[in-house]
Amino acid sequence: ASHESTRRGALIVVEGLDRAGKSSQCERLGDYLTEQGHSVKYIRFPARTTPIGKLIDGYLRGSTNQEDHAIHLLFSANRWEVARSIEEDIANGITLIVDRYSYSGAVYSAAKANPGLSLEWAWQPEIGLPRPDICLFLSISAEEAAKRGGFGAERYENETMQTRVRELFRTLFERQEDAYIIDAGNSIEYVAQDIQAAVSSCFQRLGATGSLRTLGPLAN
């Protein structure tokens, strides 16, 4: 098993709207991969306990205000704070399941009405971060989201934002290679199986691919 111990881990990102089931699916996927013999770690963004993460947490809870560009760059900086440790874990054979990443970063900021950051502008600070081997987008309709219960109390958790975020996620993932759009309106079990199938095919590709890459400019 000396070969197995030197094989790098995979960087798996799970994206989606609030209430799409990201957290439970991340947990399911973690259990599945652990059973398959992988070392697995779960992380999420924003990482609210770092110095920058604390600023973000205050902003999301509404206890502080921030200029839109400034908070955008803080969300990105929060990923750069963790980037080195992501690279180290992957090199050490740990597979990371990441709950939200650069895609949420670009889309939530670009969904704001004023001053209206473009997706292109919002993507720029993500360039050079570790690039996911696979990105799973858990897609639910506005109707299904509404059925799953009311909006939370944090900033962005309102109908106007969620609608714009849904559209922008779709725009982004339509031109993103390595992105799988998962119909997350199905049962938890069914969605979990879809995710497992996508991740298994990713692991097969990885066998041949080699090292972790970095995020490049937004595809056209």
Residues that bind ligand NYM (CB under 6 A): 18, 45-46, 60, 75, 100, 104-105, 108, 156
- Of 16-24, 134-142, 177-185, 187-195, the window that binds Mg ion (rule: CB under 5 A) is 16-24
The item of ligand NYM, Mg ion, none sharing an interface with residue 75, based on CB under 5 to 8 Å by kind, is: ligand NYM
Backbone angles phi, psi at 78, to 5 degrees: -65, -35
Q: How many residues bind Mg ion (CB under 5 A)?
A: 1
Rg of the chain over CA atoms, in angstroms? Answer: 17
Where helices occur in 175-214 by DSSP H, the ranges are 188-209
How far apart are alpha carbons 135 and 101 in whole angstroms? 9
Q: Pick from Mg ion, ligand NYM, none: which does 180 bind, CB < 5 to 8 A by kind? A: none
User: From the CB of 60, what's the least distance to Mg ion, in Å?
Assistant: 8
Cβ nearer to ligand NYM, comparing 21 with 38 = 21
> Which of Mg ion, ligand NYM, none is residue 144 near (CB under 5 to 8 Å by kind)?
none
Side by side, which strands form the sheet with 94-99?
39-44, 94-99, 11-16, 134-139, 179-183
Q: How far is the CB of 147 from ligand NYM (least distance, A)?
A: 19
Distance in angstroms (rounded) separating the CA atoms of residues 213 and 132: 8
Q: Of ligand NYM, Mg ion, none, which one does residue 16 interact with (CB within 5 to 8 Å by kind)?
A: none
Q: Which does 103 bind (CB under 5 to 8 A by kind): ligand NYM, Mg ion, none?
A: none
Q: How far apart are CA 155 and CA 161, in angstroms?
A: 9
Q: Which stretch binds Mg ion (CB under 5 A): 17-25, 32-40, 179-187, 195-203?
A: 17-25
Show the CA angle centred on residue 105, arms to residues 12 and 209, nearest 5°: 30
Kindly state whether residue 18 participates in binding Mg ion, applying the rule CB under 5 A: yes
- DSSP for 57-76 reads HHHHHTSS---HHHHHHHHH
> Is there a contact between 123 and 218 (Cβ–Cβ < 8 Å)?
yes
Kind plus residue range of the DSSP H or E element containing 5: helix 2-6
Least distance from Mg ion to the Cβ atom of residue 48, Å = 11
Closer residue to ligand NYM, CB minimum distance, 45 or 180: 45
Structure tokens given for 207: 């066998």
The residue (of 78 and 95) whose beta carbon lies closer to ligand NYM is: 78
Chain positions contacting Mg ion, by CB under 5 A: 18
